[in-house]
A and B are shown apart, each in its own frame.
Chain A
Amino acid sequence: MSLITTLARLEAIRAGRAQPAATVRHRHLSERPLVLVPLTTAGEAGAPLGALVGRDRDAPRLLVVPQPRDRDLRSVFLAELADIVLPYLESFADDVELVEGKEADPETGRQVTVERELCADAPQLIVPSRAGVDLVRLLGRSTRFRRTAEQDPETAYPAPPRVPLLGRWFTHFGERSRVPGASLLLAMTDLLSRHWATGQSSLEDQHLGALLAWIDPPGADGPTGAEAALRAELGRDAEGQLLCPPAGPATDPAFDNRLLAPAIERYDRARSALAAAEDGVAADALLANLSAAEREIGELVRSRTLPTWESVWRGLDLLRELPEAAHVPDRWKGDRWSFTAHRDRVASGEPPQPRIDDAVTAAQKLARREKEQAKLDAQEALDDPLVLAARRLGGEAFVGEVVDVTMTYTESKRPSPRPLITVRTEDRPHLGEKAKVHRSLDGKPQTAQFVGAEEEDGGEDPGGGPLLVVLRIVDRMGRGREPALGSVPEKGDRVCFTLFEHEPRGGPKLPDPENTPWTHGGPPTDPSPLPAADPVTEEDLL
């Protein structure tokens, strides 16, 4: 946490409400996102209890697993979820634009121009918290290797037809969410804490209710953010239930023990009574009992998810009030490419993502994430003075006024301009000898070299007064002897230079998987076309 963030948090404590941590919105928000508020059963990995899902704020779909241990009921839930999520994803697949790109010709090896499809827009999945993102990954892992009856008639518990496909998409969204700045799958707590600094610790910011209480406390004369957050965290009604249910997917133990467990027990009793029914008339009455028990569990799940559902949409409203940052469309394009590429993989019948990546794929993913992190850091700083302020405080950027420009030239046959500019700044950049600094010139980075620096007042007050930094501009001035118009700052201009690159490049290209070096396990041995499904144990039906 940088000192500026700490300061913002302290000011939030004093003010009783959250303070801005960004002046613009740094993440893409879709016009029509799909919101998913899932709940799971305690003690079991990825056993869904229910969910509210949908694109329409006023009409969420409620999905419930009345007995979370029952494999068949779980399958029904997943099939219903697939029927909502997959049509949403597919609605983005056909609207494409053609983009020209360069590609190595497989025969000649020459670079040739090809036209590729890029989806005009991509889906966006919003979950309440980071644990929700983890659940999407987990559901992806648990379903993508499942076999449908069509794929394998022998399988003990065949998956409904579209469930393995849902697993592949969830896995893709989960993987993409690990790329810094990517917006296909977002957690509302992450989005909000990126843009606001609350008066509590980042650990406590993981609670969506408390976080929103700080950002948007109820009413002007109402409780302060701290009081509202405390109520969201701990407030309970007369029956001992939390007033603001946790955003999940884990439920409150008091809810499990006092409300859910008895309801599930009633459901189980109704079900065994129905199974033991002797004649049709009795069965009708017992069936009514069973549906009543099922409805009761459904209402319980709705009562725990609806407040979170509202909170997520409220959070979206708050975020939409912020203007979008300049580089957001550029990063969203990366998400569109990611979506398009996975659409193509699915269409071409590739097998589901493997359980564990091979060495080259893993290295590529890591290299990509590092590159994207550097890019995100740079772009956020360029888009947002508040983010830049933290970099300035850290000595990674400086802002100042140009007080002198001296023209110099290279000593070659065709001299090129190398103007020396002197910048007067109050910042304290960490400039090493011949360090490169960058500024944005019409959206493109211009590079300068650090020549020297001195205190303006001759060093009487070390570390306090303004600094005079001399830089030599080295590029983006055109081809002629004289620099192109506007490419060199003039005296009196206010300029911002950064020590970090604006468009950081990745490392060297990694070898193809077939050429994995022996140090990394060698080329992958011929993988089986479809990884085996997870074994099913009887204990799942307790």
Chain B
Amino acid sequence: MSEYLSGPRPGRGGPGPEPNQSAGPAGTLGAVHGDGPEGAPALRQRLAELRGPGVSAKPLDARALAALAANPGCERRALLDGAGVDKTALASALGAPAPFGQSQFAFTRGHAFEARVKGDGGAELLRLVRERLDPSAPEPPPGGARVPDLAATGPQGRTGRTALALREAAAAAAEDGAWTLLDHPMLALEVAGTPAFLEPDAVVVHPDGTWTVVEIKSFPMLDGSADAAKVGAAARQAAVYVLALEDVAARLEPSPQVRHRILLVCPKDFSNLPTASAVDVRKQRAVTSRQLGRLTRVEEIAADLAPGACFSPELPAERLAETVESVRAVYTPECLATCELAFHCRSRAREDGAVTVLGRSARAELGELSGVDAVLAAAHGEAGDAADPAVAALRRAARLREEALACR
């Protein structure tokens, strides 16, 4: 893996057991919400066609959602993620495989850490939640808290089971102020018209009935501070869980409050002992909510596709590339760290001579000029309108640069 590619891990957010990947057949999608979009069966049919015959949907996870929200203008990503296309397989079929992967060392260590945090009936985890977020609440009893069994078949079943457990936890909290720990619950969030199933590391129900999202990460908190970029990514991911939980809460009566301060649990210094910090995700929640709302609905993008379009990795590369090209992409270098298809999009952007390959900031200062050749022609006075401030600035820049290089 290249240094700057931290990369999404396959399948899920944090360290821990793999979620149930066997997302049900496309025909059952949308059953989670009784209020599915109008014409949902037709859309599901369409998305199944896009994936190709016999290809099951790859569920969206919070990490993918957070990345999607960071680049909401990318229709290609919205459609492929929305339709549950396996982008890793697609990228390989296109001849630009994603270099993402996870080292088994990191995986083992992450597992061991999460098991330690949640061990002993979640006693340590609840102690951290109480200490960092709710110090006035009663201490959980020595035997730990209520830890309901959330096992069920398929993501829909698990989502239903989680909702039920949350309802029961609310009742238990109201009755005798009990703490409840939900270990790997499953939540559903509708994104661009298709439901995404999300699996937070844990959700805690406080004695006052409020809910807290817990993120367990294996990067260290060194002397009380952690890598800002990694904390930011964890906060964006947690914000997606908060949004999904608010969906569940809205359907309960009375509606419990989802706390906007989440608990981030990390190893302390160089040890494997957990330490935690409360992270305010109000901003990330607001941004993600707005960006997800802006995502063009998948059906609208799908409607613009040629009839019979399909992203099955078994199709010949040329035909696949053509279909992929027919959906508009917005490539930026940041995509390289978050999207499996980024290397394909980058090579296309390079072929097209788009200046976005240099980053968003480069694009911003060049005004309406978006092609490498157009910019260089404008800079060297071969094209462009001198009255355009962007062109004038470019010409001055080119003149100054030539002058400086001449006196070497």
Give the distance in Å from the alpha carbon of A141 to the alpha carbon of B221 in the complex: 13
Quote the shortest CB–CB distance from B217 to chain A (angstroms).
11
Report the Cα distance A310→B101, complex, angstroms: 26
Contact of A7 among B106, B112, B271, B394 (CB under 8 A): B394
Known contacts A43-B107, A202-B359; is A386 also within 8 Å of B1 by CB?
no
Chain B residues positioned under 8 Å from A202 (CB to CB)? 359
Contact with B along A126-153 (1 / 0, CB 8 A): 0001010000001001100000000000
Q: In the complex the two chains form, is A386's CB within 8 Å of B404's CB?
A: yes
Q: Specify the chain A residue showing the minimal Cβ separation from B100.
A: A253
Contact B3 A3 (CB under 8 A): no
B408 proximity list for chain A (CB < 8 A): 23, 385
- Taking A6-B362, A201-B358, A540-B271 as contacts, is the C-beta distance between A42 and B3 under 8 angstroms? no
Nearest Cβ in chain B — how far from A140, in angstroms? 12
* A389-B401 contact, Cβ under 8 Å, with A14-B372, A42-B105, A250-B3: yes
Chain B: minimal CB distance from A196 (Å)? 13
Contact B333 A201 (CB under 8 A): yes
- Please, how many angstroms separate the alpha-carbon atoms of A234 and B1 in the complex? 8
Number of A-B contacts defined by CB within 8 Å: 177
A247 within 8 A of B: yes
Mask, B85-107, CB within 8 Å of A = 1, is: 00000000000010101111111
CB distance from B348 to the nearest CB of A (A): 13
Report whether A393 and B271 are in contact in the complex, using a CB–CB cutoff of 8 Å. no
Partner of A542, one of B112, B347, B397: B112
- Complex contact A253–B101 (CB within 8 A): yes
Are B1's CB and A43's CB within 8 A?
no
Number of interface residues of A (CB under 8 A): 69
Q: Taking the complex as formed, is B174 at the interface, i.e. its CB lies under 8 A from any CB of chain A?
A: no
B130 within 8 A of A: no
Q: Is B375 an interface residue (CB 8 A)?
A: yes
Q: Is the CB of A8 within 8 A of B273?
A: no
What's the Cα separation between A540 and B359 when bound, in Å? Answer: 41
Contacts of A138 in B (CB 8 A): 222
In the complex the two chains form, is B219's CB within 8 Å of A13's CB?
A: no
Contacts of A129 in B (CB 8 A): 3
- A468–B267 Cα distance when bound, in Å, is 64
Contact A207 B405 (CB under 8 A): no
Q: Kindly provide the distance from the CB of B85 to the nearest chain A CB, expressed in whole angstroms.
A: 22
B358 touches A6 (CB 8 A): yes
Q: Pick the contact of A253 from B4, B103, B375 — CB < 8 Å?
A: B103
With A7-B401, A204-B333 known to touch, is A536 a contact of B372 (CB < 8 Å)? no
Which of A58-66, A254-262, A272-280, A430-438 binds B?
Answer: A254-262
- Residue numbers in A under 8 Å from B394 (CB-CB): 3, 7
Q: Is B40 an interface residue (CB 8 A)?
A: no
From A141, which residue of chain B is reached at the shortest CB distance? B222
The docked-state distance in angstroms from the alpha carbon of A385 to that of B107 is 51
Q: How far is the CB of B17 from chain A (nearest CB, A)?
A: 16
**Alpha-carbon gap, A3 to B394, bound state (A):** 7
A207 near B2 with CB under 8 A, answer: yes
Chain B positions within 8 Å of A, measured between CB atoms, are: 1-4, 97, 99, 101-110, 112, 116, 218-220, 222-224, 267, 269-273, 333-334, 336-337, 343, 347, 350, 353, 355, 357-359, 361-362, 365-366, 372-373, 375-376, 379, 392-394, 396-401, 403-405, 407-408
Name 17 interchain pairs, CB-CB below 8 A, sorted by A.
A1-B362, A4-B401, A7-B397, A8-B401, A10-B379, A41-B105, A43-B108, A43-B218, A207-B4, A234-B99, A253-B102, A257-B104, A385-B404, A393-B393, A534-B269, A536-B271, A542-B109
